[in-house]
Amino acid sequence: MSRVVKIILALNLAALALLSFVYPQFMVGPGKLIPGHHALEADCFACHAPLTGASSARCITCHEPKDIGRLTTTGKPVLKPLTKTPFHQKLARQDCVACHSDHAGVKRFRQSGRFDHTLLPTGARSQCRDCHAPPRDRVHTDAIGQCSTCHSATAWRPATLKHDDYFVLDRDHNASCTTCHTRNDYTAYTCYGCHEHTPQNIRREHIEEGIRDFSNCVECHRSADEHDIRGRGGRGGRGGEGRGRGGDDD
């Protein structure tokens, strides 16, 4: 390659670099801005720091956390105040770009809908209903307790429940929820949906052992192993909470 060609290439590269700083919206803009940012179309450095990308520190010069959902960036009251946005005031650190993006080009490559719950103060991370509406589907109709019993903030789906704390679902007991919880109430259960024994036989067998209260099977039986009997001195019967219609293998 001749010296002249090298000089021409170097000058072209220098010109491109200069144009990227002078007219970044034309040279490196990945897509259109949202309507609310239209006035910043030609002012990339209003949001971006040179060579480092968008900066949360620049976001809050216009969007003060204390005003989000209440006031516009011009200080006027929001016509329809948003009820879910005030949680921005509780964030442990202001990392806007962890959730928000602009430019259509960026949205095509960045996965949306993932909120980093570590941004919240520790005490607020378990208060799901402060931000999320309670579920109304059939599975959750009578669900009680904390969401964290089945869900985590890092991976909401699939839901996971450590059922071994109640009853080990293995072998022949690898059943669906509605097999035992027939009323969609997970504090109550029945064993008689599958087992062929009758309450009379169960009563007789337990009376012989001196057991008169046998309505809550999992108080003693925590697995399919008929010899794995915890007794009333075991971990306790959280599965039926005294409401289940119990049963044991004949």
pLDDT at 242 (0 to 100): 37
β pairing state of 53-54 and 48-49: antiparallel
Rounded CA separation 100/116 (Å)? 12
pLDDT at 27 (0 to 100): 53
pLDDT at 84 (0 to 100): 66
pTM of the model: 0.48
DSSP line for 198-242: -HHHHHHHHHHTT----S-GGGTB-SS-TT-B--TTSS--TTTTT
Tokens 């001196």 correspond to 210
Q: What is the pLDDT along the chain (250 residues), one digit of tens a residue?
A: 688 778 888 887 887 777 666 665 555 666 778 888 888 887 888 888 877 778 888 898 898 888 888 888 888 888 876 666 667 877 877 788 877 878 765 554 455 556 778 888 887 888 888 778 888 777 776 666 678 878 888 777 777 778 888 888 887 788 878 788 877 677 788 887 777 667 778 888 888 888 888 788 888 888 888 778 876 543 333 333 334 333 334 3
- β-pair partners for 71: 77
